[in-house]
Structure 1
Amino acid sequence: MAKTTSTRRNPVRRAGESAYGLLLVGKNVAMASVALLLLAAGVWTSWGTAQHSMLTKGRERGTVTITRCGSDTCTGPFVPADAAGTDRPKVSIDKSVTHKTGERLLVAVKPGTNEVVRTGWGGALYAWVPFGGALLLAALVVAGGLRMRRTAWAIGLLGLALLGASFATL
């Protein structure tokens, strides 16, 4: 019977390996936190418009006919969809959701303002564009920082699909 001998590692080497492992865990925690922060910021930014575009029950809804466009916004008269609403001679909408003057859009009024947001699929997808961008950025962090390439591809493709669908519906 052969006698087996076990060699013990030097305590300094064990401490160095533990410290390196702790640094790796810390890096992964930091990268995951950055990715989650990006996604949370995307949702937070998108929700400011998405709530008015998607949750239209109880909000004043109607149509706006684009009469004039400036550098950032377009304006036109608002006609409410029901009799309880009020006609507004001039409301503003983001220029990127409309294509030309004379266009009629289904919109909802942001409470307490003369700003309107587009409703329907086009408006809802446009509202989530910041989240789509955040998905693309988070995919880079997940791929580069966490080395999770398949997950990063999935996140990136979801962001790209969201941006593409928004572009296609507007």
Structure 2
Amino acid sequence: MPSRAAQTKNRRSRMRRLGESAYGMLLLARAGLMALIALVLVVAGVWTSWDTATTAMTGNERGTVTVKKCGDDECTGTFLNEKTSKHEKVTVSEFVSGGKGETLDVAVQPGTDHVVRTGPAGVMYAWVPLGGALLLASLVIAGGLRMRKTALLTGVCGALIMGSAWALLSF
């Protein structure tokens, strides 16, 4: 059996043990904060995309719009409702409109005169904010949480959403 002097020599002081546990708590707090930031980014992306995406996927008032005039960010045109054959003046994002003279399948956002493109291109474009949020969250996951494979998967998913929206809108 070791002597009492040998036992106290191998023992860590109370301050050192307290310091080690405080450092562990700081590491845990940092990981929790980074996970919370990544979660907030993804939730914000879903929140931003949700209204437009639900309209693009399941909008009640559907029809076609013929683009007449384009401004800086928006184009205006005539909306022809599928059911009532009623004509209205509506606005659509210039990026999805394709330019003057184009005819697009759209759905009207409830309570507005703004229309959202439907079909695969419109649905993917509606989820672009989520794709951007996934890209940002992947940086937080890689840098703050040191989870490189998860970050890579998250970033690839975000890039696929954004890339597929661009590709579908280009054709």
TM range (shorter): over 0.9
Give the alignment's Cα RMSD to 1 decimal: 1.3
**Match status 1:38 vs 2:41:** yes
TM-score (norm 2): 0.92
Q: Which amino acid aligns with 1:44?
A: W
Whole-Å separation in 2 of the counterparts to 1:138 and 1:37: 9
Report the alpha carbon displacement of residue 113 of structure 1 after superposing the two structures with TM: 1.7
Matched ranges for 1:135-146 at <5 A: 135-146=134-145
Deviation at 1:8, TM superposition (A): 2.1
- In the alignment, structure 1 residue 18 sits paired with structure 2 residue 3: no
Count of residue correspondences: 164
Match of 1:29 in 2: 32
Q: Quick one: percent identity of the two aligned structures?
A: 52
Structure 2 matches for 1:116-127, cutoff 5 A? Answer: 116-127=115-126
Whether 1:128 and 2:127 are equivalent positions in the alignment is: yes
Amino acid at match of 1:18: S
Instruction: Point out the structure with the larger helix share.
Output: 2
1:72 is matched with: 73
Aligned amino acid, residue 83 of structure 2: D
For residue 102 of structure 1, give the secondary structure of its aligned residue in structure 2. Answer: coil
2:101 equivalent to 1:102: yes
Q: Partners of 1:40 and 1:55 in 2: how far apart?
A: 21
Deviation at 1:87, TM superposition (A): 2.1
Distance 2:78 2:50 in 1: 26
User: What 5-or-longer segments of structure 1 have no aligned partner?
Assistant: none
47-56 or 153-162: bigger deviation: 47-56
Paired AA for residue 76 in structure 1: G
CA distance in 2, matches of 1:35, 1:148: 12
Match of 1:54 in 2: 57
Q: Structure 1-normalised TM-score?
A: 0.92
